[in-house]
């Protein structure tokens, strides 16, 4: 059976930096609160008319990943696109990337697993490669949060956290043993679906009702998050799913060379780091610069870690995510 390995990584973030101080001009918040509770100092937001959208940023990240893999877009034979913020309600952005890359009519699959979306996408690509169906798969995570946040004091518990950006990898089939993706682990617990969700519009609350009700007091069209509740579950699930990946492959936490956690909150990453007694050099965080970019956070972080020389041949890399659904997931990789 083939193994799959990551042969190229890329990312793209919009130029426009939004600092905590700038947010405090829009709502009752401040740099001290945001820094202390989340570690975030700034995030990127697209600007209307700058050409950036979930699909176009995904395409830019994909181009970089393809280039870094030493391939051309025509070498790609399948696209997996993870996002919670597609350009359109449908179709999903996978097909837009196929068009924007100008490639042949390959399959494009959209993944809807929010913060765990990239790891879910990686797992899907891994299975397609293992079965021999595809050779080079593009896995993309991209989000535009800034277009849908409640930028008033009412929405501050959510809107200060999220940012825009995209990341991508190229996964390739290999005959090398014990290399590449060692295992992936996917979970969900739908009873908590509404603890971190955007309820409307949807087919249970369709557009005519949504428009009728469209007054400033109606919060259903903004993302809702029960922050404390989500935080507590995140700590537990991150730890569980990292342990699951290690145990499946006969490793200990101390064997991890680099943990790249979904960038949900610096406090969450630090608590997980402490629990597994990992040194600072073994955990990669960049939430300080970008906020939480949901499906894009892991590939952006992995791309920056790789650029900084922190992802080396032979390293044991663990990716772990938790988010809306709830969903959580991990992947263990021998680089």
Q: Which residues bind ligand UT7 (CB under 6 A)?
A: 29, 33-34, 37-38, 115, 156-157, 160-161, 227-228, 230-231, 234, 264-265, 268, 292, 322-323
Minimum distance from CB of 200 to ligand UT7 (Å)? 20
Token pair of 182 as six digits: 């060692």
Alpha-carbon distances of 71 from 60, 68, 74, 131, 313, rounded to whole Å: 15, 8, 8, 22, 19
CB nearer to ligand UT7: give 88 or 229. 229
Q: Do residues 209 and 38 touch, judged by C-beta distance below 8 A? A: no
Q: Which residues pair with 74 in a beta bridge?
A: none
Q: Do residues 325 and 192 touch, judged by C-beta distance below 8 A? A: yes
Q: Which residues are catalytic?
A: 115, 262, 292
Q: Do residues 129 and 4 touch, judged by C-beta distance below 8 A? A: yes
Minimum distance from CB of 58 to ligand UT7 (Å)? 19
CB nearer to ligand UT7: give 172 or 324. 324
Other CB atoms within 10 Å distance of the CB of residue 325:
23
In whole angstroms, what is the distance from residue 239 CA to residue 258 CA? 15
In whole angstroms, what is the distance from residue 6 CA to residue 332 CA? 12
Q: Is the dihedral of CA 21, 23, 24, 26 positive or negative?
A: positive
Minimum distance from CB of 121 to ligand UT7 (Å)? 16
Minimum distance from CB of 195 to ligand UT7 (Å)? 10
CB nearer to ligand UT7: give 228 or 281. 228
Residues contacting residue 218 through CB under 8 Å, at least 6 positions apart: none
Residue facing ligand UT7 at closest CB distance: 227
CB nearer to ligand UT7: give 73 or 299. 299
CB nearer to ligand UT7: give 64 or 158. 158
Rg from Cα positions in the chain: 19
Minimum distance from CB of 106 to ligand UT7 (Å)? 30
Cα atoms in the Cβ-side hemisphere of radius 13 Å centred on 232: 5
């Amino acid at each position: 059976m083939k193994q799959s390995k990551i042969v190229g990584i890329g990312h793209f973030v919009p130029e426009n930096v939004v600092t905590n101080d700038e947010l405090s001009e829009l709502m009752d918040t401040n740099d001290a609160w945001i820094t202390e509770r989340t570690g975030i100092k700034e995030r990127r937001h697209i600007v209307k008319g700058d050409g950036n959208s979930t699909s176009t940023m995904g395409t830019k990240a994909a181009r970089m990943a393809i280039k870094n893999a030493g391939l051309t877009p025509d070498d790609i034979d399948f696209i997996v696109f993870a996002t919670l913020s597609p350009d359109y309600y449908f179709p999903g952005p996978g097909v837009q990337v196929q068009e924007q890359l100008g490639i042949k009519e390959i399959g494009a699959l959209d993944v809807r697993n929010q913060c765990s979306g990239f790891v879910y996408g990686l797992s899907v690509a891994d299975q397609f490669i293992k079965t021999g169906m595809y050779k080079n798969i593009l896995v993309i995570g991209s989000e535009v949060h800034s277009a849908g946040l409640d930028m008033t004091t009412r929405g501050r518990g959510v809107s200060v956290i999220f940012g825009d950006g995209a990341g991508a990898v190229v996964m390739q089939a290999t005959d090398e043993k014990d290399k590449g993706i060692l295992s992936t682990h996917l979970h969900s617990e739908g009873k908590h679906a509404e603890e971190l969700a955007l309820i409307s519009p949807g087919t249970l609350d369709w557009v005519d009702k949504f428009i009728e009700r469209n007054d400033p007091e109606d919060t259903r069209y903004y993302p809702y998050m029960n922050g404390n509740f989500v935080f507590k579950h995140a700590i537990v699930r991150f730890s569980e799913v990292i342990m699951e990946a290690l145990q499946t492959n006969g490793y200990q936490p101390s064997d991890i060379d680099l943990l790249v956690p979904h960038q949900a909150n610096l406090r969450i990453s630090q608590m997980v780091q402490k629990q597994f007694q990992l040194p600072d050099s073994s955990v990669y965080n960049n939430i300080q610069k970008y906020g939480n970019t949901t499906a894009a956070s892991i590939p952006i972080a992995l791309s920056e870690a790789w650029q900084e020389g922190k992802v080396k041949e032979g390293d044991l890399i663990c990716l772990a995510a938790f988010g809306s659904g709830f969903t959580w997931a991990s992947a263990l990789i021998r680089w």
